[in-house]
Structure 1
Amino acid sequence: MPPEDHDHFEDQLAAALRHTGGTFEADRHTLVTGGEAHGRRIRRRRAAVAGCAAGVALVGLGAALLPASAGGEQRSVAAPPVTPSSSSSLSPAQRPVVTGDDLVRTLKKLLPGGRFSHEEGRGTNSPMPLAQVVYDDGKGEAAVAVSLGRVAPGSQQAAQATECPDKVYVPYDACTRSTLSDGSRLMIMQGYEYPDRRVDTKMWTADLVTRSGQHISVQEWNAAAEKDAPITRDRPPLSPARLKALADAREWRAAVDAIPVDPLAAVAEPGGTPLASGRPVSGTLVSLLPEGLHVVSKGDADPGFGRLVLDDGRGASLVQVNVQKPVPGVKAGASVPVTRTLPDGTTVDMRQSDGDKGVEGTVVWTVDVRRPDGSRVVISAFNSGTQHTSPTRPLPPLTMRQLEAIATSPKWRPFG
């Protein structure tokens, strides 16, 4: 499936789950790989600011930071009007635009000298302000980028921006979360660009969200670009401590303050509507399993999404569910292929297909159930414990009929 199809599903599913009155229409193939999209959405949050879809090839720079000033803050090197002391006291309309060149200069100044190339910046009047360069400190070219944005304080998006991702979807070597002295939340992850590790490009990230909703995201690679570039060094140039210092530099917060405020994103998003059972998705899924399956692990990173890793003694299997609640006034779409239609008008599509490309021998069995009221349940079972590792068994432990019985259960009805 083309990457743009995956991204389309991610954005639509997130909107449907997190905004009351929203809906989505996605093709069957994207829903089949909804868990992969979920994992990639977590990874994209490390690169994108609030409300912006990633998809930009980020390149950047790396190494040690400049010494702090006497006041304990790193000095500002952006345009003179935009400093921690001057911009915060201005109203949004009074705050000057911080240009892409300003952000690039700030990034270069906050890092030690070296050779820089492929410099690019987008200013605070852009949907995704960022600074990115390729840096060579004598140990090989490395890409590092800083992107800026806002999230609604106290929202689910704010919380998720600093959550360590589920290893079932996103492999990494280390991930830590911490709360800074001012209440900001920080997540640092040492991971990889490709979940299936087909190329061993490392991607290390730091995401910082302040109590007021400023979101600073730093990424670095051990190559000159995030994808399709040779590995130039064993590891990215910035240590976790230096990633933290770069993300916490006050210059970035001043730049975020210059971003125009989106009135639609000024309040916290509501949480997902709970299912009738009151359980998270994974709990409802557990209650519908046939006997003989041991639950190895489970997760519910998003409302309406849950996953289990099961084992019947013959190997681990990932099983995941996407649930869409009905939306008043919106009918279920008719663009999805139908295997059969039940007496009440519910359609059932059953498919067997290959798993992730690049992982030989993986298969995924999927049942997509759409009710006339617009609600939808898509369940997928894999013959491996993750979406990015080799098969652990010839076939999933659940049959297609068992998957259908789970997906058509009335327990998924949000309002009973």
Structure 2
Amino acid sequence: DGRRQSAGGSPKPALTTAAETEAAKPAVSAAALTRTFEKLLPPGRLTRTAARGTDDHPYVQGVYDDGKGEAAISVSVNRVPAGTQEASQNTTCPDKVFIAYDSCGTTKLADGSALMILKGYEYPNKRSGTRLWQADLVTPSGQYISVMEWNAAAEKDAPVTRAEPPLPAERLKALVTAPQWRTAADAIPASQWPKPAPNEPKGPAGSVSATLAGLLPKGVEVTDKGSADPGFGYVVVDDGRGASLVQLNDQPDMRDVEGQLFGADAKVLPDGTKVVAHKSPGEKGVSGIVMWTVDTIRPDGRRVVISAFNSGAQNTPATRATPALTLKQLEKIATDPKWLALG
């Protein structure tokens, strides 16, 4: 298996992959991760701990109390395919059109690692008052550490116990960058390392948002649009009656779910494209928001689904009675041949 070691003399070169070399490192137990967690936290009381070792998706969590109220804190240790878009997305601040937060920033560390610190909320629309602060670190070799903390003893369905989570940004940084977590990431078996997505997007970043903006009907002004997420794009438009979010997913081959998404009532266009449309409530807990959606799939499996909201964001109350685009206009955009040119 390429992992033999010589007891003496000149060892022969081992025929190992990088993954096998890393995976040969000794496992880190759940108990060891818990001890590390306790050691790295500031003085305080840690209770209700739980952990898994590096042989099974490692993490450690507990309820920490520095005397100002209980707070749940967790650390997860993982791998991501190094140098991929997936790796960079883990340290890219989310778009406020979709997730509400107070602050977010990404910095490059001296060793080339990317660190994101986000101060936000457990729910995108802040509905419970539960704050979620997190630090995500991705190293050049694909080690991925994520620390999350709340101002409650549990992430959901627990009363808020303090105004803010206990660890400020500098403490979060110190915890997530501790070398012990990287050691644990290197001990994750190679069989659990994620592979790069086979359809890692090609072509210019932001082409979905740009194409979407170019297909809008006359009479609407684009006030905001997405940028670097291939396969997904959005614009915020205003027709003079208030902001309206329009978002679109472009998926290359979804024939495996065609039967579930497009039933006998689907409209079939002359070129074989199937179309379904529906109106539904928007995000739970957001006042008066509705979502209008047109879902399409072409004979080759390419799926383009577009939705419009009667607000400028998914997580803010309605700003108008209905979305700025009609179902007919949404269908025209989704079935436009320009989507075929995106690769």
Q: Is TM > 0.5 for Structure 1 vs Structure 2?
A: yes
Q: Does 1:113 align with 2:55?
A: no
- Give the C-alpha shift of residue 332 in structure 1: 6.7
Task: Tell me the equivalent position of 2:128.
Answer: 199
Question: Superposition RMSD on alpha carbons, in Å?
Answer: 2.2
Unpaired stretches in structure 2, ≥5 consecutive residues: 1-17
Identical positions, percent: 55
Which amino acid is 1:249 matched to? A
**Cα distance in 2 between the residues matched to 1:348 and 1:252:** 48
**SS of the counterpart of 2:260?**
coil
Which amino acid is 1:354 matched to? P
For the 8 Å contact 1:332–1:373, the answer to whether it is kept is no
For the 8 Å contact 1:103–1:121, the answer to whether it is kept is yes
**Cα distance in 2 between the residues matched to 1:334 and 1:279:** 30
For the 8 Å contact 2:122–2:132, the answer to whether it is kept is yes
Are residues 133 and 341 of structure 1, via their aligned partners in 2, closer, same or farther at CA, if it must alter by over 3 Å?
same
* Larger relative contact order, structure 1 or 2 (CA cutoff 8 Å, min sep 6): 1
**Cα distance in 1 between the residues matched to 2:141 and 2:311:** 41
Are residues 292 and 264 of structure 1, via their aligned partners in 2, closer, same or farther at CA, if it must alter by over 3 Å?
same
1:304-343 matches, within 5 Å, as 304-326=231-253, 333-336=258-261, 337=263, 338-343=265-270
Are residues 298 and 147 of structure 1, via their aligned partners in 2, closer, same or farther at CA, if it must alter by over 3 Å?
same
- Give the C-alpha shift of residue 300 in structure 1: 3.9
Q: 2:21 aligns with which of 91, 103, 113?
A: 91
**Cα distance in 2 between the residues matched to 1:205 and 1:227:** 15
Are residues 142 and 292 of structure 1, via their aligned partners in 2, closer, same or farther at CA, if it must alter by over 3 Å?
same
For the 8 Å contact 1:156–1:268, the answer to whether it is kept is no
Which amino acid is 2:151 matched to? N
- Give the C-alpha shift of residue 267 in structure 1: 5.8
Q: 1:248 aligns with which of 177, 182, 194?
A: 177
- Give the C-alpha shift of residue 93 in structure 1: 5.0
Are residues 340 and 148 of structure 1, via their aligned partners in 2, closer, same or farther at CA, if it must alter by over 3 Å?
same
For the 8 Å contact 2:311–2:319, the answer to whether it is kept is yes
**Cα distance in 1 between the residues matched to 2:50 and 2:342:** 49
Task: Tell me the equivalent position of 1:291.
Answer: 218
Task: Tell me the equivalent position of 1:344.
Answer: 271
Task: Tell me the equivalent position of 1:360.
Answer: 287
- Structure number with greater Rg is 2
**Alignment TM-score, normalising by the size of structure 2:** 0.89
**Alignment TM-score, normalising by the size of structure 1:** 0.74
* Residues 203-222 of structure 1 deviation map (CA, whole Å, 9 limit, x = unaligned): 00000111111111001000
For the 8 Å contact 1:325–1:413, the answer to whether it is kept is no
**Cα distance in 2 between the residues matched to 1:303 and 1:259:** 30
- Give the C-alpha shift of residue 339 in structure 1: 3.9
- Which sits farther off after the overlay, 357-366 or 134-143? 357-366
Task: Tell me the equivalent position of 1:43.
Answer: none
For the 8 Å contact 1:204–1:219, the answer to whether it is kept is yes
Task: Tell me the equivalent position of 2:115.
Answer: 186
- Give the C-alpha shift of residue 360 in structure 1: 2.5
Q: Does 1:131 align with 2:60?
A: yes
**Cα distance in 2 between the residues matched to 1:266 and 1:415:** 24
**Cα distance in 2 between the residues matched to 1:199 and 1:264:** 36
1:376-415 matches, within 5 Å, as 376-414=303-341
1:199-278 matches, within 5 Å, as 199-262=128-191, 265=194, 271-274=200-203
- Give the C-alpha shift of residue 348 in structure 1: 0.9
Task: Tell me the equivalent position of 2:33.
Answer: 103
Which amino acid is 2:98 matched to? Y
